[in-house]
Structure 1
Amino acid sequence: NNRWLFRTSAWLPSKDDWRLCLSCVSAEERRHVEQFLHRRDSKAALASRLLARRFGTSATGLDNSQLTACLQRSDKGRPFLAGFEADFNISHQGDVLILCGVCGPGLRVGCDVMKATLPRGESSAESFFRIMRRQLTEDEWRFVRSHGGDSQQLAAFYRIWCLKESVVKATGDGIGFSLSRLNCQPDPDFLFDAADLPLTTSRSIVYIDGSASSDWLFEEHRLPLGHVAAVAWQRRGGGAGSHVTLEAFTELAPLSSSICDGLQPITVSHDSEMSYQNFCNKPA
């Protein structure tokens, strides 16, 4: 299983970098990348496509051009590798992007990352919690309130949120999956603080429709720059834990060469200089 972390905020692509990266994705993917209004969103979109291709070529043995036909999306928008017993999921928020991938029959993975800070426009943790009141169960709110101070309570909230989202993303049900079906018990000994030191646990539990199933294994991760992440591994028929080894995320260098590693160019662009200029002219 793979767990990759890429600091999108630290990636500062040059014109040559931009041309190389765009050449490693399809024309459709390029159009998606270029449609965003802000540089940070274009970078995240491009990095996510490249990491998906990097995992896909490794998991399938296909080269980058062959992989294009296999990289598909479900009718609810979940990416998958058609025709292969491999699965991956990607999440981006704040300063980082993460990818989790797994190979094997019946295995699925979902992941979610959040920066443990107030959303833009929110004045306090209390006002934010009032808006999100219905998203957590009473047990989950008790867990949040058991932490002292706004920053610790925000981190506790986002830990639960990431656990819930990781399940939804693993199933691929999207907004059709009600978060009220999930009741999370995060590992009480997993302490979140502002340190950049990685920390991991697989002792958190998520009850789905009131039951804890052996089909699932859950991880929590403390990531750099104040981010928290959760990963949900599913193996239908049970035994998810026997197929997954708990490991910290591998942080990739914030360089174009690291996210393009092993990928051959598949498209030729005659207007990459204009594309790069448009990228540079976007607000951060």
Structure 2
Amino acid sequence: MERGVQRWVVDISEWDPSPHDFSSALSLLPPLEQSSVTRFVQMEDRKRALVSRLLQYALAHQVLAIPFHEIIINRTLEGKPYLECGHACLDFPNFNFNASHHGDYVAIASEPLCLVGVDIVSVVIPQKETPIEFVKNFSSCFSSFEWDNILNAGTSDDILTEFYRYWCLKEAYVKAIGSSIAYGLDKVEFHHSCWTSISVNIEGKLMREWRFWLLELGKGHLVSIARGHPRSATESYMRTLKQAEFGEEEYQTALHLPNAGFVSRTVEQLVTVLQKARDPLNHL
């Protein structure tokens, strides 16, 4: 099942497309996906949205070998993307994926059985308020334990980074279960040892069926991965999964699969993959 554990990342700061190149890449997507990209006004937001979708289609094609025209990606009411794969995903009991973008990076992560959530944050210094003033806007999202750790992290820059570390992990968890609601995040409490061996308590209970990783991407960006049990999915997302219950041995094997390192992709590579997938006869 290890082949189902994929981690891809694109640095979009290195992509400055001409209007023609952008339109050409956009045209690879189905019409509904195109409109979900062009609804953004700012070009940087359009780039992030486009690359996120290119990653999703390229992943489905390369990992699952689904013919391009058979790839169907829908979204739950909460906005979580999912693959309608039918017979194409027989190699994996519960293949699912998640994407994230912030700042210079766009990333995607997939799992063969467990739920997966990924979140990127750019540790940006606020422009109109101090770091402490900024983080205090989110105090209700943290437990008293987490909040004490944030405020006592050291300098104002240390406080800001600590805030983003916790926030990144919480977002990955929320995205893994398919929720769009931030309410109750203070009940999702993270513990760690120097930001390794990360665990989560939910309403005071240690959740042993979840694992987390927090990594540095570079240029002041952090990325987190959440891996957990399908039974934790929201109702709408659970309906998209092939299976929610597994035997303990099968689940533990999936939970402890190696966490693959992020592989760097370029937009040009993704475009080439999808062009060949869409028009295979023109690339022989």
| 2:104 aligned residue | 95
Structure 2 runs not aligned, ≥5 long: 231-245, 280-284
| CA drift at 1:79 | 0.4
- Equivalent runs, 1:1-284 vs 2, <5 Å: 1-67=5-71, 70-82=72-84, 83=86, 84=89, 85-104=94-113, 107-119=114-126, 121-175=127-181, 178-188=184-194, 190=195, 201=196, 203-236=197-230, 238-239=251-252, 242-253=255-266, 256-264=267-275
The answer on whether the counterparts of 1:114 and 1:158 sit within 8 Å (CA) in structure 2 is yes
Structure 2 CA distance for aligned equivalents of residues 176 and 223 of structure 1:
25
Structure 2 CA distance for aligned equivalents of residues 241 and 20 of structure 1:
38
Structure 1 CA distance for aligned equivalents of residues 253 and 174 of structure 2:
17
Amino acid paired to 2:201:
Y
Higher mean C-alpha deviation, range 164-173 or range 237-246: 237-246
Higher mean C-alpha deviation, range 83-92 or range 40-49: 83-92
How many residue pairs are counted as aligned between the two chains? Answer: 248
Structure 1 CA distance for aligned equivalents of residues 112 and 52 of structure 2:
19
SS in 1 for 2:125: coil
TM-score w.r.t. structure 1 length? 0.80
Cα-Cα RMSD: 2.1
Structure 1 runs not aligned, ≥5 long: 191-200, 268-284
TM-score w.r.t. structure 2 length? 0.80
Q: Structure 1 residues 181 and 241 mapped into 2: Cα distance closer, same or farther (>3 Å)? A: farther
Amino acid paired to 2:224:
A
The answer on whether the counterparts of 1:234 and 1:240 sit within 8 Å (CA) in structure 2 is no
Structure 2 CA distance for aligned equivalents of residues 161 and 260 of structure 1:
32
Q: Structure 1 residues 168 and 240 mapped into 2: Cα distance closer, same or farther (>3 Å)? A: farther
The answer on whether the counterparts of 2:132 and 2:160 sit within 8 Å (CA) in structure 1 is no
Structure 2 CA distance for aligned equivalents of residues 154 and 12 of structure 1:
30
Higher mean C-alpha deviation, range 90-99 or range 43-52: 90-99
Amino acid paired to 1:228:
L
Q: Percent identity?
A: 27
SS in 1 for 2:226: strand
